[in-house]
Amino acid sequence: MMDTFVVIGAGLAGAKAVETLRAEGFEGRIVLVGAEPDLPYERPPLSKGYLLGQEDRASVFVHDDKWYVEHDVEVLTGRRATALDRAAHEVELAGGERLGYTKLLLATGSSPRRLRVPGNDLDGVHYLRRLSHADQLREALSASGRVVVAGAGWIGLETAAAARSYGCEVTIVEPGPSPLHAALGPELGGFFADLHRGHGVELRLGTGVTGFDGDGAVSAVRTDDGEIPADVVVVGIGARPETQLAEEAGLTIDDGVRVDAALRTEDPDVFAAGDVANAWHPHYGRPLRVEHWAAATNGGPAAARSMLGQAVEYAELPYFFSDQYDAGMEFTGWFPPGGYDRVVRRGDTEAFHAFWLAGDRVVAGLHVNKWDDGLDAVRELILSGRKVDPDRLADPDRPLDGD
């Protein structure tokens, strides 16, 4: 009987997984199931080029519909998986259809965390996760009104930058002491605060949103220190992994679906990749869940190879990138809260590297507008664990890749 591999989640991780299955010579049946009506697409453009109107709709898709036909991949869009029967090796879809599988990949991703305050159902309150969300938000921003962004994380900052490009008046409300405080700490959070202030954004830090006012449509945002008029609100307060299907099937859930370094769950025929996977990371010696683009684009292929029985150890360093105004940034590495002692900067105010040090070792690094140097040497410093001299690290006349 022909093997059937089913992938639940038609996002980037799922698309890259089925692409890899065919590239590695798998000749069995492949079914890709997605709750959204669209073919798999990349999400970074939703808060970057596509939202800005610089990229067309077709550019965001991983493959066009012809590719799936040519590679004999069955794509079931607009179909939500409602139950996983591990004993029967079947997935149930909304409507009652059941799909049998030999191997199954969970690539269900994540969904935006909701702001549970009065008025959160008013028109004009936006969340950004799906292509349809970006379409709606792009139309709203084109009216060049008053925009309030709740949350100064990556989505919040990128949508704020996009709103300014449309000529909107923008205010960011953030309960933390700086933008990106949890991700980067105050040292680099201050850089992004200055970047946005320099482009006319008002930042209200240390302030939380308490509600939205309006008659059918939002007209104001209530905060700890008063009201802010608003025509458009964007809520970007993080995401939660979509684990319900796995949890109801009895798989281990711990900030995502727990998998080993081969992206296998405790069920030898069920795997997980992308935002939903909390995978054992060999470098850090602990499970790690990463919500960014690289986790999908690298994790999907790794999971596919593991499904095929190949020896896999998924050990990619966390990586993400951001574009805001004229600042392009790439980051790699990881540290827990309080997991670094100091930040060393190298370069000027417009183009620089930054390194997070724990003791005398680099645990993470980024660059802003340093594309010639990039992150290769930074990755080497992290993976090698070799000791560094902070003064030499800060000296732009010293090579990054050695003494």
The structure tokens 């079931």 sit at 76
| DSSP-derived 3-state class of residue 344 | strand
Task: Examine the pLDDT at 365 and tell me if it is beyond 70.
Answer: yes
The pLDDT of 31-39, averaged and rounded, is 97
Please say whether the beta carbons of 235 and 127 come within 8 A. yes
Task: Examine the pLDDT at 228 and tell me if it is beyond 60.
Answer: yes
The pLDDT value recorded for residue 305 is 98
Which 8-state DSSP code applies to residue 41? B
Helix (H) or strand (E) holding 367: strand 361-368
Same topology for domains 4-111+239-308 and 125-235, yes or no? yes
pLDDT per residue over 258-278, tens digit each?
999 999 999 999 999 999 999
- What are the helix (H) ranges across 174-292? 181-197, 244-248
Task: Work out the percent of the chain whose per-residue pLDDT is above 70.
Answer: 99
Task: Examine the pLDDT at 154 and tell me if it is beyond 90.
Answer: yes
Q: Pick the closest to residue 271 from 4, 2, 3, 6 (CA basis).
A: 6
Give the burial class of 328: count Cβ atoms within 10 A of its Cβ; 0-12 exposed, 13-18 middle, 19 or more buried. Answer: middle
For the chain, give every domain's residue range. Answer: 4-111+239-308, 125-235, 326-394
The pLDDT value recorded for residue 372 is 82
Q: Tell me the residue type at 222.
A: R
User: What is the Cα–Cα distance from 396 to 392, expressed in whole angstroms?
Assistant: 8
Strands (E), 10-68: 29-33
pLDDT mean across residues, the chain: 95
The CATH code of domain 4-111+239-308 reads: 3.50.50.60
User: What is the Cα–Cα distance from 55 to 50, expressed in whole angstroms?
Assistant: 5
The pLDDT value recorded for residue 402 is 56
List C-alpha distances in Å: 335 to 8, 235, 317: 30, 26, 11
**125-235 has CATH 3.40.50.720 classification:** no
Superfamily of structural domain 326-394: FAD/NAD-linked reductase, C-terminal dimerisation domain (3.30.390.30)
Alpha-carbon torsion angle 35, 37, 38, 44, nearest 10: -60
For the chain, the residue count is 403
